[in-house]
Amino acid sequence: MPTHTPALVDSAEPLTWLVTGASSGIGHALAEHALTHGHRVVLAARSTRAMDALAARFPGSARVVVLDVTSSAQRSAAVQHTLSQFGPIDVLVNNAAVDFIGAIEEQREPDYRAQFEVNLFGAVDMIRLVLPGMRARRAGTLVNISSMDGIASLPANGFYSASKFALEGVTEALQQELAPLGIRAFSVQPGSVRTGIEARTHASGNAIADYAATSGRFREQVAAVTPEMFPGDPARVAAAIHDEIVAPTGRRWLVLGSDALRRIGAKVAALQQDLDAAVLTASRTDFPDAGTAVL
């Protein structure tokens, strides 16, 4: 039997993708889905074993590169490898991420800084590397994999959420900066997806008894979690992201998963409640003779 899986080529023209964090989870599932549908994909992550196995099934359209997104040299090498193998990059997917749990006061500084280095600054630097080529062609798509935690934070996950909140802010600015240039940017807010993340999420710092009912409870839940508690299917998540890339609906936030819909919906409702209350107070803080705001 042949080891190569034939691609199911879409009617759309094949695109060149660069996917970070492609060794597992959503990144791996998305790379596989894109390859199956006839696209060219460079899979990038620190560990190559799972990526090598996937690339072996698609020898003509898949390449593997070692990438720690905190390394300037490896970021540049990944982009150059993609250009040399497949030409201009049509789609960048920033999926690489790390997570540590613990209350804000509990977490160790190296751990909370690492979350920003990977989840935010690594993604930003990848974007800055591919944008010159996309601007020259007036085409391209930037996909930032955020999280439901990037909209609605939780105790014990504050630094992870903060890094994703920041990624959301960057993406929203990019949407406005790049739309006139024909380049699209959108963020994805997955819920709890069965990616094995429960085995890769670690507590940071020593637990403080005063937080037992909040972050302490979250720590206990994470320690006891099993894959069956995650409703999200990585293959279905990958298909939804792929579809938004090749046949865009124009959505700026791609909320995926029943739990993401519930949690983000609750956050929006709470924000709307406070916004409604602000009608009575917000304008009172302006200068009496203030004109129209610049923004």
Which pTM does this prediction carry? 0.92
Identify whether the C-beta of residue 148 lies closer than 8 Å to the C-beta of residue 264.
yes
Give a yes or no: residue 27 inside a domain: yes
Whether the pLDDT of residue 289 is over 90: the answer is no
Q: Catalytic: which of 23, 163, 192, 204?
A: 23
Q: What is the pLDDT of residue 227?
A: 67
Catalytic site residue 258?
no
Which CATH number is 21's domain given? 3.40.50.720
Q: What is the pLDDT of residue 3?
A: 40
Catalytic site residue 11?
no
Identify whether the C-beta of residue 9 lies closer than 8 Å to the C-beta of residue 58.
no
Q: Catalytic: which of 24, 161, 163, 164?
A: 164
Give a yes or no: residue 277 inside a domain: yes
Catalytic site residue 23?
yes
Buried b (16+ CB within 10 A) or exposed e, 106-141: bbeeebbebbbbbbbbbbbbbbebbbebbeeeeebb
pLDDT digits (tens, 9 = 90+) for 180-207: 999 999 999 999 888 776 667 789 999 9
Q: What is the pLDDT of residue 7?
A: 42
Q: Catalytic: which of 153, 160, 192, 215?
A: 160
CA nearest to 191, candidates 34, 80, 26, 65: 26
Question: Under the phi-then-psi rule, with left for phi > 0, alpha for psi from -120 to 50, and beta for the rest, what region is 193?
Answer: beta
Burial of 34 from C-beta contacts in 10 A (0-12 / 13-18 / 19+): buried
Quick one: what percent of the chain has pLDDT higher than 90?
82
Give a yes or no: residue 221 inside a domain: yes
Q: Catalytic: which of 24, 146, 161, 215?
A: 146
Q: What is the pLDDT of residue 295?
A: 81
Give a yes or no: residue 106 inside a domain: yes
pLDDT digits (tens, 9 = 90+) for 111-133: 999 999 999 999 999 999 999 99
Give a yes or no: residue 10 inside a domain: no
Q: What is the pLDDT of residue 193?
A: 86
- Number of domain units in the chain: 1
Q: What is the pLDDT of residue 9?
A: 43
Give a yes or no: residue 1 inside a domain: no
Give a yes or no: residue 86 inside a domain: yes
pLDDT digits (tens, 9 = 90+) for 54-103: 999 999 999 999 999 999 999 999 999 999 999 999 999 999 999 999 99
Catalytic site residue 71?
no
Q: Containing domain of residue 119, as a range?
A: 16-283
Burial of 253 from C-beta contacts in 10 A (0-12 / 13-18 / 19+): middle
pLDDT digits (tens, 9 = 90+) for 258-267: 999 999 999 9
Burial of 198 from C-beta contacts in 10 A (0-12 / 13-18 / 19+): middle
| Tokens of residue 135, six digits | 């601007």
Give a yes or no: residue 240 inside a domain: yes
pLDDT digits (tens, 9 = 90+) for 19-66: 999 999 999 999 999 999 999 999 999 999 999 999 999 999 999 999
CA nearest to 187, candidates 229, 143, 225, 228: 143
Q: Which residue has the higher pLDDT, 264 or 289?
A: 264
